[in-house]
């Protein structure tokens, strides 16, 4: 029984190490990386780039819901991709879309 517990702990530690290496690789490649956890599953996203947001804006003219769908699918890095098709998960992600597309706001001074 103890051997099974040790084996499970080692397997969990290995998954965590692999996950950490993957996240660091994504950060090097994409900059910001976000993790969305739902029902014990993790979905990983990068911050969308201008090209993705521009294309999503064009799509949104005909179907506003497609904006979030396009941005999420094109920013998705890893995890259970099937969850993106779950309406309740999609609605949850849509509510925090502002965090994914966060902007740095500076101060403009008249000189």
Q: What is the pLDDT of residues 98-109, one digit of tens each?
A: 888 887 889 989
pTM for this prediction: 0.79
Alpha-carbon gap, residue 24 to 7, rounded angstroms: 26
The structure tokens 């090209």 sit at 51
The answer to whether the CB of 81 falls within 8 A of the CB of 63 is: no
pLDDT, one tens digit per residue, over 41-89 is 999 999 999 999 999 999 888 888 899 999 999 999 999 999 999 999 9
87-92 contacts: CB < 8 A, separation 24 or more?
Answer: 89/38, 89/43, 92/36, 92/38
């Amino acid at each position: 029984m103890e051997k099974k517990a040790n084996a499970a702990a080692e397997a969990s530690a290995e998954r965590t190490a692999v996950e950490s290496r993957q996240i660091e690789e994504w950060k090097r490649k994409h900059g910001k990386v976000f993790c969305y956890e739902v029902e014990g599953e993790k979905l990983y996203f990068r911050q969308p780039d201008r090209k993705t947001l521009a294309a999503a804006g064009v799509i949104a003219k005909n179907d506003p819901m497609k904006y979030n769908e396009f941005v999420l699918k094109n920013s998705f890095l890893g995890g259970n991709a099937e969850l993106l098709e779950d309406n309740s998960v999609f609605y949850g992600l849509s509510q925090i879309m502002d965090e994914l597309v966060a902007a740095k706001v500076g101060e403009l001074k008249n000189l």
